[in-house]
């Protein structure tokens, strides 16, 4: 797993605030997450693209910056299921769907950030929100070292709200 000490976050937060992470980890597979969970990190911050993150100290917490990529399409008889990895860019993901005639997310185009952050605050715009189209969220639980499948009904989606908002603070 890529790991960088004294990592500058200046270019990856939308305010371009200079803040140095003592160490930044860049997991790209489940095995990397399992490795991270064995390190006994007391606290850390998961950073997507930094568009909803305000850094206020010269020294940031330990950073985990996922580098999970890939989009899979599963055509079913009555619907299309699209599975997108956390580090895909949200706007590009919307474009990917539109190009293939997979409709619904158009109003959410141009929202800056990553796919992984989208369910955290249940992104929305122009009367549409992610929750209307999100069937399931896969979440890695650092305590049990396993991937948990959260079905839509278990995500606690509300206006700019979800259970994941609380989980990232745990
Ligand atoms: C100019 C501008 C316009 C915006 N317009 C809208 C809008 O129209 N609608 C809207 O809803 N929002 C909007 N936002 C807010 C922002 O686009 C969203 O909050 C977006 O989801 C942030 O994505 P990010 O990857 O940059 O998240 P970050 O800032 O990196 O992270 C945000 C939160 O998500 C957590 N997180 C990020 N990635 C993961 C992951 N893989 N796993 C677990 N937790 C994770 C972080 O720990 C943090 O708590 C706007 C922001 C800006 C700057």
What are the tens digits of pLDDT across the range 5-43?
Answer: 999 999 999 999 999 999 999 999 999 999 999 999 989
Q: Is the pLDDT of residue 166 over 90?
A: no
In the numeric block, which tokens belong to residue 15? 């305010």
pLDDT > 90: what percent of the chain? 92
- 25 C-beta neighbours (distance < 10 Å), count: 23
* Any ligand 1 atom below 6 A from CB of 111: yes
In the numeric block, which tokens belong to residue 44? 């850390």
CB 151 within 8 A of CB 162: no
Distance 113 CA to ligand 1 centre (A): 5
pLDDT at 170: 64
- Which ligand 1 atom is the nearest neighbour of the CA of 68? 41
Which of 21, 47, 52 most suits a substitution to test ligand 1, by most atoms within 8 Å of the C-beta?
Answer: 52
Write down all domains in the chain, each with its CATH number in brackets: 2-64 (3.30.43.10), 71-167 (3.30.465.10)
CA distances from 51 to 12, 16, 54, 142 (A): 8, 10, 8, 24
* Any ligand 1 atom below 6 A from CB of 124: yes
* Any ligand 1 atom below 6 A from CB of 60: no
- 151 C-beta neighbours (distance < 10 Å), count: 10
Which of 70, 112, 169 most suits a substitution to test ligand 1, by most atoms within 8 Å of the C-beta?
Answer: 112
Higher-confidence position of 107 and 43: 107
- pLDDT, one tens digit per residue, over 67-85 is 999 999 999 999 999 999 9
Partners of 20 in beta bridges: 8, 59
* Summary mean pLDDT of the chain: 95
């Amino acid at each position: 797993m890529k790991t960088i000490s004294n990592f500058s976050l200046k270019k990856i937060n939308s305010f371009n605030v200079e803040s140095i992470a003592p160490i930044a980890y860049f997991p790209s597979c489940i095995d990397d997450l399992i490795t991270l969970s064995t390190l006994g990190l007391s606290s850390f911050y998961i950073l997507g693209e930094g568009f909803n993150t305000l850094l206020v100290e010269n020294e940031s917490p330990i950073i985990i910056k996922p580098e999970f990529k890939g989009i899979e399409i599963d055509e079913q008889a009555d619907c299309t299921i699209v599975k997108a990895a956390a580090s895909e860019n949200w706007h590009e993901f919307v474009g990917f769907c539109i190009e293939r005639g997979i409709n619904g997310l158009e109003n959410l185009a141009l929202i800056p950030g990553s796919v992984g952050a989208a369910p955290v605050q249940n992104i929305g715009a122009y009367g549409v929100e992610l929750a209307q189209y999100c069937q399931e969220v896969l979440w890695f639980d650092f305590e049990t070292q396993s991937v948990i499948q959260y079905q839509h009904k278990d995500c606690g989606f509300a206006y700019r709200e979800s259970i994941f908002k609380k989980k990232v603070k745990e």
